[in-house]
């Protein structure tokens, strides 16, 4: 399938082969897109990300740059380097989030310190706004494009232990809607994908995550847990012209769990 042939974009958040960002990259590459990548700084983080990205078996030497998205200087440098090395920007994938794991336990939300609360909002939500601001000129020059961010149902409903991450994801989803309103005239669509729980480095910080996985599998109308490829396919749809009329939306890819009442 060459649905995305000629499209080029930047993906934030490939940590290993289990991350949603990795599965999205796999699907975009399979559809013919050219993907560039950003990873967390640090020798260990960069080595792990490169190993995962090389496992995608891309047909070219992958473009990978470290970036601390909480630092404006890092984001400025990254987007300048991307623009120097690429002639267009058609898509931006935001799949990063962070909260101190000591506050990701059932019953501890009220104890969340101000600094840790604000840090979760900054890294999980504001970074998408900061990236969108820097991506906008090049994406507009490319004739428009798509920005996507990953979220989770803990933004809408209480998921025990998700705590401040739920608040941060709610801020991310709301930010995406305001970005969609701001950037639409430039031909830029902005959406979020609410994926079901997936065993990743980030989810391992949530106490009781195994019970969340088993709970979703029991409640799913499809009788199974979500897979990374499910979200990857949704990303291809939204990035492609098939999703050209969709913006400001949160697309739930969770095997139907969200619709279930009991």
Containing domain of residue 155, as a range? 8-259
Condensed to tens digits (0 to 9), the pLDDT of residues 208-246 reads 556 666 667 778 889 888 899 999 999 999 999 999 999
Q: What is the pLDDT of residue 117?
A: 98
Share of the chain above pLDDT 70, in %: 92
Q: What is the pLDDT of residue 58?
A: 75
Condensed to tens digits (0 to 9), the pLDDT of residues 159-172 reads 989 999 999 999 99
Distance of alpha carbon 76 from alpha carbon 78, whole angstroms: 6
Distance of alpha carbon 8 from alpha carbon 19, whole angstroms: 20
Q: What is the pLDDT of residue 90?
A: 98
Strands in the chain per DSSP E: 8-12, 34-39, 63-66, 91-94, 145-151, 188-195, 250-253
Count of domains forming the chain: 1
Is 54 contained in some domain? Answer: yes
Is 171 contained in some domain? Answer: yes
The pTM of this model reads 0.93
Condensed to tens digits (0 to 9), the pLDDT of residues 120-174 reads 999 999 999 999 999 999 999 999 999 999 999 999 999 989 999 999 999 999 9
Distance of alpha carbon 21 from alpha carbon 23, whole angstroms: 6
Q: Are 83 and 138 in contact (CB under 8 A)?
A: yes
Active-site residues, by number, are 152, 162
User: Is residue 51 over pLDDT 70?
Assistant: yes
Is 1 contained in some domain? Answer: no
Is 203 contained in some domain? Answer: yes
Is 35 contained in some domain? Answer: yes
Is 2 contained in some domain? Answer: no
Is 14 contained in some domain? Answer: yes
Is 67 contained in some domain? Answer: yes
pLDDT-derived band at 198, boundaries 50, 70, 90: confident
In this structure, what CATH number is given to the domain that contains residue 227?
A: 3.40.50.720
Q: Are 153 and 131 in contact (CB under 8 A)?
A: no
- Give backbone dihedrals phi and psi of 19, rounded to 5 degrees, phi first: -70, 150
């Amino acid at each position: 399938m060459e649905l995305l042939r000629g499209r080029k974009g930047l993906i934030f958040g490939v940590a290993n082969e289990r991350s949603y960002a990795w599965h999205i990259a796999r699907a975009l590459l399979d559809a013919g897109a050219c993907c560039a990548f950003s990873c967390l700084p640090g020798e260990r983080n960069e080595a792990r990300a490169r190993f995962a990205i090389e496992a995608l078996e891309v047909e070219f030497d992958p473009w990978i740059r470290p970036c601390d998205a909480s630092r404006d200087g890092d984001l400025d440098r990254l987007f300048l380097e991307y623009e120097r090395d690429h002639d267009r920007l058609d898509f931006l994938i935001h799949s990063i989030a962070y909260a101190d794991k000591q506050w990701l336990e059932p019953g501890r939300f009220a104890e969340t310190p101000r600094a840790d609360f604000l840090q979760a909002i900054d890294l999980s939500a504001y970074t998408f706004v900061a990236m969108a601001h820097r991506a906008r000129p090049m994406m507009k020059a490319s004739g428009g494009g798509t920005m996507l961010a990953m979220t989770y149902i803990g933004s809408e409903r209480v998921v025990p232990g998700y705590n401040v991450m739920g608040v941060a994801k709610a801020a991310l989803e709301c930010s995406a809607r305001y970005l969609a309103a701001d950037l639409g005239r430039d031909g830029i669509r902005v959406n979020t994908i609410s994926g079901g729980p997936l065993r990743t480095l980030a989810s391992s910080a949530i106490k009781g995550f195994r019970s969340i996985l088993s709970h979703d599998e029991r409640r799913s109308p499809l009788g199974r847990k979500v897979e990374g490829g499910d979200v990857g396919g949704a990303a291809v749809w939204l990035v492609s012209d098939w999703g050209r009329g969709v913006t400001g939306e949160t697309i739930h890819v969770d095997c139907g769990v969200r619709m279930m009442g009991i």
